[in-house]
Amino acid sequence: MKTLLLFTVICLLSITSSAQEFKFEKETINYGKIAQGSEGTRTFEFTNIGDAPLIIKEIKSTCGCAVPKKPEKPIMPGKKGQIEVSYDTNRPGSFSKAVTIYSNAKNKRTMIKIKGFVSKLKKDKTKV
């Protein structure tokens, strides 16, 4: 009987510890049309809607041209956090990149996206 009770308590604790959640204000940021070489950093804001500290363990991008930066400290319940993503705007053309977030949330993996179009830099036609 004690073993069954202990097992039940352990199961309940594991369920409550994985009941962590967070919600993004936007899951996709559209850069729109931007000039080649312009500022490529955008910020995703989210709120910890769980009842325990949210820990972002790792963030991975689909390529090296989009570099995410994770929060270093846990995000407390009800508080906001930010994830910055810097895109290399020296590459002209359209882009659509995914960033995967690994955390202690109920859904261990969460995906956010960036997209847009980098227009080619026009050459200066000033006469010399």
pTM: 0.78
Please indicate, yes or no, if residue 56 is contained in any of the structural domains: yes
Please indicate, yes or no, if residue 68 is contained in any of the structural domains: yes
Please indicate, yes or no, if residue 4 is contained in any of the structural domains: no
Please indicate, yes or no, if residue 104 is contained in any of the structural domains: yes
Task: Give the pLDDT score at 1.
Answer: 64
Task: Give the pLDDT score at 2.
Answer: 61
Give the span between the Cα atoms of 45 and 112, in whole angstroms: 11
Please indicate, yes or no, if residue 31 is contained in any of the structural domains: yes
- Indicate the number of domains in the chain: 1
Q: Secondary structure of 44-110 in the HEC alphabet?
A: EEEEECCCCCECEEEEEECCCCEEEECCCCCECCCCEEEEEEEECCCCCEEEEEEEEEEECCCCCEE
The per-residue pLDDT for range 30-45, each reduced to its tens digit, is 999 999 999 999 999 9
In this prediction, the residues of the chain whose per-residue pLDDT falls under 70 are: 1-19, 122-128
Please indicate, yes or no, if residue 5 is contained in any of the structural domains: no
Give the span between the Cα atoms of 44 and 26, in whole angstroms: 7
Task: Give the pLDDT score at 16.
Answer: 46
Domain that residue 71 falls in: 21-119
Please indicate, yes or no, if residue 73 is contained in any of the structural domains: yes
Q: What's 85's domain CATH number?
A: 2.60.40.10
Sign of CA dihedral 77, 54, 14, 101: positive
Please indicate, yes or no, if residue 128 is contained in any of the structural domains: no
| Identity of the residue numbered 57 | K
Task: Give the pLDDT score at 15.
Answer: 46
Task: Give the pLDDT score at 118.
Answer: 97
Q: Smallest Cα–Cα separation from 71: which of 52, 49, 47, 89?
A: 47
